[in-house]
Structure 1
């Protein structure tokens, strides 16, 4: 299988390109860009392919091809194929905001549906799926390394795509577009054989477009608030660092080796955790434990230094640097987790601190633009409600129907404090063992229980909810028979180790199986809501900006508040009927000018 490709650089060459492309109903495309920021970075060129050959459109040819490309992609007869197509769709919108792909096909999402355990990197995936052997296709980093060496750059980040040889970049872009086209027929067959084709076409591809719009909406930042936080937190960090230097005689707080020597040798504090390599740990949990044993106050001081450093570097300074026209723009990835929950990166907008005074202060920097407000709405205890529904837990079903507190119910049944009960509930959901449960309690700032206590509580928990044991057994029985477990919408989590003779591998797969059913189903629930809500937002001049697990964040003109809240709430509650859940589904909505004012602490 040999790639036939050429560069199309001049606008007068477009008629010849169109003639060469012909009437092929399948079009693959792949943009090469100056970077990964889909708002700030620019297009270098575009790889286009049909089933027999490929082209790289560059310079004046790129603009000249847009009218044909718009007609082609918007035709219901065209399958527009890409690998991680949302990224390329962003840059397509940059060239022509009016283009709407009628029938998008993402081979990355398709492969994730076929087997989420397989690598999604095109360099590995394409040769395997196309039966190419003894080949070594360079990825973009390899092109950078080649250019760095040839042109004498000192660092990789100095190498721009404009420094690279055009033929090298063009072949790379044309090949990636061609690979996507070539892989799709086989993936179509696999999706159909695995009963995942409807999930792909009716759910995942429309959801890709929901995420595209959500990403392009960005997240509005109050710059004055960020500058205020940077000033205050930098001052606190400097004060704590100065005090640290006085206490420790200038031990480097970023050096694990120096911290180990200081805490465990100089102060003589006990080692409570070790790294995988067997060294004394100085991670957050280790230092948190030392805080109660350290009379000097240096352990508590180190925790403060790390906290302010993290908030400044990961959030405040990074956001100020990344802001573009008052907004930051992140990436939401459908294929980022094996449970089909969304993940977020560059920056991670799902990991913004929610709890504590500093987290609340940080969220005050995120808000609505002038004349608008924010709606923050989330599902109430959706995972526990799904567990109650799936396992038919009579006590939990009765409690939820009566509006009760599931954590207090567990506390009463197991005879423990509520914070212990809450961690027991989530430990079962996440498949945590006694040691991990103890970590969960300790990480929340409570005294660490013994593993013996944890084992006793967990046994009592299972006695209190016997239906959960039956549910788990049924999930594992079906999982072993099929080789996978399924979410409420039919997403599969392939777990071949459920049949493993290796105990540790099998136990790990068993924990993952139950977790995948519940977490994945919770992801399905909010995905359904987003698919229903997104097409209606224009009627309210509203925008969706974030999905943070079970929470959605919108902005809207102030006059549309009541109507929008009613519509979003109605669509989110539809899942109870759509998925035929025997448990009431509840949402909680809050509105304000800033996220930190609207956000309520979940309990």
Structure 2
């Protein structure tokens, strides 16, 4: 029997985007959704169907919008990160040889439904590849639904009934009653899946339910009667059309010849190494879930890392035995196990991702791999068993948790330290974190528990969505049944201990990596927890004033753009901007999107800003809009109601170089070089009687370059304490220091920083506004005066090519997956990273070491000063006014002593009522 596969591309694109972490390729382009969908496509192609189609929603309204103007009205606009992946996906689908179907006026579901029934009637086996529950109405002999990402399958009436409680022909009626928040179809309030299935079982159909609406008792009956007139419209909206007039029948959907060269280029660009290997004649691809992220190039040397084939120790992959602790006797038995153990893993379950507001729902413990428990404390699911009191459990666990001599292990344990601290327990002896172990072993990998368990242990863990659901229907963990919660939460503690056992020997084999982990990353965990808990005060009134001013200036920019365009233009619409700039004004399209269309991104507008006033106005508008939406409007919403402060989250495993990242809010991205950015910093304030003190490393990466290159002239410039940019200008242009002009110093500064980031002569020429030949002469002069820098760069490139990684001064490894790429742009990017990463990584190591040292000193002075922020190379403190001199001297001394380089580390400091004044 012939087979037709119909792929619901729109459904998978969204599901992959939300299911996978925000992956990017080496160039920083988003790839998460692309990764998931391409894996799914490859899995289907292995089955070699006779016919296949990739079906997407067309742009524009459909007949359902005409039926109900509110249909899908609540659906948010597509995230930019997802939109950027659509065109690359279409290129890959086309190169694979799959027909792409988009039909105006209907949805992808209707196209799929029409083709499915058409082919089934002709005796063809139909596989509908989708994760959309609405499609269950299509199931019948010869039509099956397969969710390729989860592996679930609906291929019979019995399968549909088991999942939904109703047969396929009643799915539309079921959806009409339950409703769909995503599509903005209002169902019957309080009518969930079980109630809908029950009504349809009793009354036969939606029409039967409507006819007996008066007989249904209780509040839910009242709710039904309130919307009974709406239900026929719901049914019409939920019904998949199977009679769409399509240009081609199913038998026109044969596979086309794939474009191997195009696929090779696309797979390489987006880092799909397993797909690339398969394409180039390697081993056949494994199941879709085993596709790996970009891995180090051939020839790299690293500690042995267990892969998806299983862990180093087979005992670490055995099935787990998990226990729900519901009685004092059970708790006492686990207390004895903790008392006898030198080390144990723990994890908390809460009702929020915000550690500063989360309430404890349960705690899991593990003292040996394969045996773990979950202590539920606040589950309120229907039929939940009686649980131990939270105060009783915490007091019982306190001795083990605060014992500094009993080692604790966690996975991203900073969150758990926060939660327990807020519940009265300051955990001591937090000795190991499996996320940080993985990060130090190879920062280019993924470090979440599910990924780690698969990669290191060969174990598929229970996804959170399996116990709590996802999207609009996700429930709080407190509402999860205790039995399900135990399987999920106890597994977390068990897997954490197994990961520790698997990864600890790998770290121990490389002494430098063990040092980075033990001396830098692990001591930093409680330091960051304290900084986050301290938070920072915000002047909300100042932010409101700034927001009003930014809004006024946005309006002025909009009006100016209207004048320049000669008509009203939506500055937030890339499509309208592209048409205006390139079609009407005939400006050159110097930057293109991946599909070859003219781009209107920041780079593209900067490139033509000297040819017309409008691009500059658009850039100004976007800059103002971003500051307003990201900071002046949002910061006030982030103030914690309990503390009155904003509490950012720092991420140790965020950047491959080791640099700390922050979120909610992202402090690293507040502009410092613009007046508007500095104004935002003025809203970060000290409380009455206190000051803010900012201590900042001066030119730290240039100093690290001098240390690594050992160039005599560069070392001399720093050792003398001279202005290094003026000294560089004097060297390059052959002048005395006092003869260097402002433009020459500016050129020297651009060279100093540009070379560290791999800037080309073209880039330098653009930055300085000089001809490319002149910029090339500047670079040649620079290298002639600083030959040690050139030698360092060449030496580092060679090391990267030979071993697949580079190292910081302290031994942190930074892997370069594309150093041997056949794609010249990728390879050049990896070579630039090879030069810059040791400097950025060493700077990250230094400030982390400084934070640990400063925090230890602050331990005896916490009544007088708090460390409240870390941004780039700067530490910020909230200090009693009288204590400022003491703190400044102590902090600058410890920051300067955080590393012994061949040149001195210099720390600048400032004090003020707000962050801008202090900086």
Q: Work out whether the TM-score is over 0.5.
A: yes
Match for residue 139 of structure 1?
463
Match for residue 531 of structure 1?
852
Comparing 231-240 with 303-312, which one deviates more in the overlay? 231-240
The secondary structure found in structure 1 opposite 2:491 is: helix
Q: Assess if the C-alpha contact under 8 Å between 1:147 and 1:164 holds in 2.
A: no
Question: Is residue 2:350 matched to residue 1:33?
Answer: yes
Match for residue 220 of structure 1?
537
Match for residue 151 of structure 1?
none
Q: Assess if the C-alpha contact under 8 Å between 2:693 and 2:910 holds in 1.
A: yes
> Partners in 1 of 2:574 and 2:818 — Cα distance?
36
> Partners in 1 of 2:764 and 2:485 — Cα distance?
51
Comparing 258-267 with 345-354, which one deviates more in the overlay? 345-354
Q: Assess if the C-alpha contact under 8 Å between 2:691 and 2:878 holds in 1.
A: yes
Change (3 A) 1:315 1:79: same
Match for residue 152 of structure 1?
none
Match for residue 187 of structure 1?
503
The secondary structure found in structure 1 opposite 2:616 is: helix
Match for residue 547 of structure 1?
870
> Partners in 2 of 1:455 and 1:275 — Cα distance?
29
Question: Is residue 2:651 matched to residue 1:333?
Answer: yes
CA RMSD of aligned residues (A): 2.5
- Render the CA deviation track for 1:260-302: whole Å, top value 9, x for unaligned: 00111112212122223222121123223433322xx433322
Which of the residues 551, 557, 563 maps onto 2:886?
A: 563
> Partners in 1 of 2:449 and 2:321 — Cα distance?
19
Match for residue 449 of structure 2?
122
Match for residue 400 of structure 2?
72
Match for residue 815 of structure 2?
494
- Render the CA deviation track for 1:85-131: whole Å, top value 9, x for unaligned: 111111111212x4232142100101111122222121121122123
Runs of 5+ unmatched residues, structure 1: 149-154
Higher relative contact order (CA 8 A, sep 6+): 1
How far apart are 1:477 and its partner, in Å?
4.1
> Partners in 2 of 1:373 and 1:256 — Cα distance?
44
> Partners in 1 of 2:819 and 2:616 — Cα distance?
43
- Render the CA deviation track for 1:207-258: whole Å, top value 9, x for unaligned: 1111111111112111221121122222222333344445543322111111
Q: Assess if the C-alpha contact under 8 Å between 1:214 and 1:544 holds in 2.
A: yes
How far apart are 1:138 and its partner, in Å?
3.8
Number of residue pairs aligned between Structure 1 and Structure 2: 576
The secondary structure found in structure 2 opposite 1:403 is: coil
How far apart are 1:478 and its partner, in Å?
4.0
Change (3 A) 1:165 1:452: farther
Which of the residues 896, 910, 916 maps onto 1:590?
A: 910
Match for residue 394 of structure 1?
712
How far apart are 1:20 and its partner, in Å?
6.3
Match for residue 161 of structure 1?
477
How far apart are 1:534 and its partner, in Å?
0.6
Runs of 5+ unmatched residues, structure 2: 1-317, 378-386, 734-742
Q: How does 1:75-474 map to 2 (within 5 A)?
A: 75-96=403-424, 98-132=425-459, 135=460, 137-141=461-465, 143-144=467-468, 146=469, 155=472, 159-195=475-511, 196-245=513-562, 247-248=564-565, 249-294=567-612, 297-324=613-640, 325-415=643-733, 417-437=744-764, 441=767, 447=769, 449-474=770-795
Following superposition, which runs of at least 4 residues in structure 1 exceed 6 angstroms of deviation?
Answer: none
How far apart are 1:10 and its partner, in Å?
5.5
How far apart are 1:402 and its partner, in Å?
2.3
Change (3 A) 1:219 1:269: same
Q: Which has the larger radius of gyration?
A: 2
Q: Assess if the C-alpha contact under 8 Å between 2:868 and 2:876 holds in 1.
A: yes
Change (3 A) 1:285 1:417: farther
Change (3 A) 1:219 1:24: same
Question: Is residue 2:844 matched to residue 1:517?
Answer: no
> Partners in 2 of 1:291 and 1:582 — Cα distance?
43
- Render the CA deviation track for 1:332-362: whole Å, top value 9, x for unaligned: 1111111112111222112212122211211
Question: Is residue 2:352 matched to residue 1:57?
Answer: no
- Render the CA deviation track for 1:461-494: whole Å, top value 9, x for unaligned: 2222111122223334444454432211221223
How far apart are 1:374 and its partner, in Å?
0.7
Q: Assess if the C-alpha contact under 8 Å between 2:561 and 2:618 holds in 1.
A: yes
- Render the CA deviation track for 1:182-216: whole Å, top value 9, x for unaligned: 11112110011121223322332111111111111
Comparing 462-471 with 15-24, which one deviates more in the overlay? 15-24
Q: Assess if the C-alpha contact under 8 Å between 2:404 and 2:428 holds in 1.
A: no
Q: Assess if the C-alpha contact under 8 Å between 2:376 and 2:482 holds in 1.
A: no
TM-score (norm 1): 0.89
How far apart are 1:26 and its partner, in Å?
2.6
TM-score (norm 2): 0.59
- Render the CA deviation track for 1:424-469: whole Å, top value 9, x for unaligned: 1112112233445456x2xxxx64x454444343333222211112
**Structure richer in helix, relative to its length:** 1
Q: Assess if the C-alpha contact under 8 Å between 1:462 and 1:468 holds in 2.
A: yes
